[in-house]
A = this chain, B = another copy of it.
Amino acid sequence: MNKNTFLSWIEEGVISIPSFLFRYYKKIGLTDIECMVILHIYNFIEKGKEFPTIDEIAERMVLSTEHCSQTILTLIQRGYLEILKGQTEEGIYFEKYSLKPLWLKLINEHALHEQEDLQFQTNLEEG
């Protein structure tokens, strides 16, 4: 164990995931594996790789490349994930994943729960 091993750990850093994702992913219709695929994509994005290939994602998972590919496809079709296409200032075309649809679903779910909590409290007080 030397200092460079330690240093590279610090430089790789952490990824910070909204805690509500773990609380709500099942409620918004994701399976455990689908959520894991999303976490891998999020990790790549946060580390600066905005459009990882299926192979790069699957290499880190026990899930087969084929299943990984299918999972990503259905995540897009069912509106949890999207692929944005664009052009840089230098005119280079790019594609990148966006988790915006997922965050919107989470916000909606969270707002719903807040409302229920409020309703519940009101009922108690009125009860």
A residues near B (Cβ < 8 Å) are 1-20, 22-23, 25-26, 31-33, 35-36, 39-40, 43, 46-48, 60-63, 100, 103-104, 107, 110-111, 114
State the CA gap A108–B12 with chains docked (Å). 16
Interface residues of A: mostly helix, strand, loop or mixed?
helix
* Copies per assembly: 4
Which residue from chain B places its CB closest to the CB of A12 in the assembled complex? B19
A5 touches B110 (CB 8 A): yes
B-chain residues with CB within 8 Å of residue A23 when the two chains form the complex: 60
A20 touches B16 (CB 8 A): no
Say yes or no: A20-B15 contact (C-beta < 8 A), given A33-B32, A107-B7: no
